[in-house]
Structure 1
Amino acid sequence: MPNTTNTALITGASRGLGLALARSLAAAGWNLVLTARGAAELERVAAELGATALPGDVTDPEHVRRLARAAPELNLLVNNASDLGVTPLPPLAGYPLEAFRVLLETNVTAPLALIQATLPALRAAGGSIVNVTSDAATGAYEGWGGYGATKAALEQLSNVLAAEEPDVRVWWVDPGEMNTRMLADAVGREEAAGAADPAKVAAALSGLVGSRPTSGRVSLQ
């Protein structure tokens, strides 16, 4: 009999939203290929969920190729891994340009590279792509210009990709503020503690993946 198990590839899967989504999809019976830079954390998650762990840096072209080879049949790609950039968050007038180039590489170029590498499998499966973005892509928040600019670029990349790939669902998803290490690094632990639980956001994201609406921007909060 043909294999009917759905397979998802999730980046940034060792903590925060990536970890919460991996748990949600595993509970629904998905086969998971997970990646993150922290090998020890990722291996623990993979052991918990019975998933495949491939630690590495998504800006590394060889790692991207390794991820694509690990999922020759793929139903869902989740580009969740991203970097906050310089902290404390600086104004654009003083943003270090080399740091901004690195941020673009992580938050924009790396997701596109992984999309390109996995598109043949996603086309064959009539699959889906989730690009995790932010309200910083559309709002003028002081200090968030560097990070927000990369997320705005990711949103437009997703928008055009959706027009070019009508057989693949493409959603650029704004999860809202979540109680994660990244938010704590930006605003402090006390303020971050009042944000949404990533598990609740992941449940909404799992519902989106299951219902497969038309491609577009989605806000989960």
Structure 2
Amino acid sequence: MTNTALITGASRGLGLALARSLAAAGWNLVITARGSADLERVAGELGATALAGDVADAAHVARLAQAVPELDLLVNNASGLGPTPLPALAAYPLDAFRALLETNVTAPLALVQATLPALRRSGGAVVNVSSDAATGAYEGWGGYGATKAALEQLSNVLAAEEPGVRVWWVDPGEMNTRMLADAVGAEEAAGAADPAKVAASLHDLVRSRPASGKVSLR
């Protein structure tokens, strides 16, 4: 029987790289991202089902859950960075912080809630993509890091409450992605890891199915 994965933020970066890795291994994929053109191109490449939309939109979350009545893997990869240049907390716009919480914390929880029945049936797994900014005191990263810290604690409690489902909160390390380039500049981002290499390690994690917990791919 073919395994099914739902991957958010799958049109670029780590989400795209993981989608390619899983597709090559024969997984059935449902992918989502906000940009429909890029997402449709990826879907055509991989033979995946594309549902474009914002994971912070409750109606979109419901559509995604309906598309995966059987599900083996949920990858909450979609994430917002927040305002750039990255502001200090003393000047962080609170409306922007609330929006970031919706995307980086509330949306992953909503998707978990919507897909848990299917994941329980399959004994499936949840991957919540975090960051070392969840624990490190990096200037300018306070807003983003706070959302990832919240996501890690949600993952920690979810793992305790759902022993039949694997839950991994994953720190992938710095990757050469558009998000990192937006934060630190394209030149510095170019020296970071290739998302494809990180995705290969993440695929190994999914394949080996260790106990629930925090995982560093750095």
CA deviation after TM superposition for structure 1 residue 10, in Å: 0.1
Counterpart of 1:217 in 2: which secondary structure?
A: strand
1:127 maps to 2:113? no
Equivalent position of 1:203 in the other structure: 200
Query: Aligned Cα RMSD in Å?
Result: 0.3
Instruction: Give the TM-score normalised by the residue count of structure 1.
Output: 0.98
Select the residue among 106, 114, 117 that pairs with 1:109.
106
Equivalent position of 2:65 in the other structure: 68
**CA offsets 1:23-74 (integer angstroms, 9 cap, x no match):** 0000000000000000000000000000000000001111000000000000
Counterpart of 1:85 in 2: which secondary structure?
A: coil
Aligned partner letter, 1:165: E
Aligned partner letter, 1:202: A
**CA offsets 1:108-156 (integer angstroms, 9 cap, x no match):** 0000000000000000000000000000001000000000000000000
CA deviation after TM superposition for structure 1 residue 167, in Å: 0.1
Counterparts of 1:145-164 in structure 2, within 5 Å, are 145-164=142-161
Aligned partner letter, 1:199: A
Structure 1: which 5+ runs fail to align? none
1:177 maps to 2:174? yes
Q: Report the Cα distance in structure 2 between the residues aligned to 1:53 and 1:182, rounded to whole angstroms.
A: 22
Counterpart of 2:84 in 1: which secondary structure?
A: coil
Aligned partner letter, 2:138: Y
1:213 maps to 2:215? no
1:91 maps to 2:101? no
Select the residue among 7, 10, 35 that pairs with 1:38.
35
Counterpart of 2:167 in 1: which secondary structure?
A: strand
Aligned partner letter, 1:30: W
Q: Report the Cα distance in structure 2 between the residues aligned to 1:160 and 1:74, rounded to whole angstroms.
A: 21
Q: Which runs of 4+ in 1 moved over 6 A?
A: none
